[in-house]
Structures are given as structure tokens and as C-alpha cells.
Amino acid sequence: MTLESAYNLLYEGALIVLALLIGAMLIRSIMGPAVTDRVLAINMIGTMVIASIAILSMYLKENYLLDVGLIYTMISFVSVLVLASVYIPFKAGRSGTDEAENVRTQKVRGNKKGAGKKRKRRDDR
């Protein structure tokens, strides 16, 4: 066994392991219990694909694949930023924005002052 065939065996083994891990993260991104788990799984898939591209570049001795890996890194980073920017306002809207917090505190104050009184509506005047 030559040194080059040992390296090729190592590259093939690493690619197989990464493919299995990408499959596991794909399942995690589909069945994740929370949205944050799904976003994290998608980020992990991107990282493992970048590692696979780098290993494939060494295995095939093609340097242009490293450029492809760098471009994929930028795309993966931007996609996680977009997912976070979409998810964070959605999460903040569900848990309560400033406007919703003001409405809640007004209701609490209103109930303390006039707990037994019936409020008049504009139509009741």
C-alpha cells in the first residue's frame, strides 16, 4: 500500500462519514422539536458540505473546488443570517412586542381600578 492509496482511502472514509452525518442532520432538520434545532441542523449541513468539498478537492487534486467551497461558505453564512432575521421577529411577535406589552399592562391597570364596574362603550352613551 502506497502513501497515495492510503490518503485516498482516508479521503473516501471521511467522505462516507460526512455523508452519513449530513443524512442525520437532514433528519434532524425535518423532525427537530424546535425551530432553533432546525436552523442549527441546516447550519451544520452547510458546514459538513464545505468540509466535503474541501476533502473532494484534495481527493481529486482539483484546486478550483476550493473556490467553490469558499463561495458555498459565503452562501451558507448569508442563508443562516436570513433564517435568523426571519425567525427572530416572528419569535418576538409571538412572545410579545412593546405594543402588546403596553396593551397587557393597560388591561392589568384597568382591572385593578375598576374591577367591579362595567365600562361604558361609545355605543352605550
Inside any domain, residue 64: yes
The stretch 64-84 carries a mean pLDDT of: 93
Distance of alpha carbon 123 from alpha carbon 15, whole angstroms: 72
Give a yes or no: residue 46 inside a domain.
yes
Q: Name the residue among 69, 80, 96, 74 with its Cα closest to residue 36.
A: 80
Where in the sequence is the domain holding 73, given as residue range(s)? 3-93
45 belongs to a structural domain: yes
**Is 47 part of a structural domain of the chain?**
yes
User: Cell triple for residue 2?
Assistant: 502506497
Question: Would residue 56 count as lying in a domain?
Answer: yes
pTM of the predicted protein model: 0.68
More confident residue, 70 or 101: 70
In-domain check, residue 68: yes
- Higher pLDDT: 121 or 3? It is 3
Percentage of residues in the chain having pLDDT higher than 90: 55
For residue 116, pLDDT over 60 is answered with: no
Instruction: Tell whether 10 is covered by a domain.
Output: yes
- The count of C-alpha atoms lying within 13 angstroms of the C-alpha of 19, restricted to the half-sphere facing its C-beta, is 8
Report pLDDT for 113.
52
Q: Write down the pLDDT at residue 35.
A: 83
Q: Could you give the number of structural domains in the chain?
A: 1
Residue pair 44/23 in contact by the 8 Å Cβ criterion: no
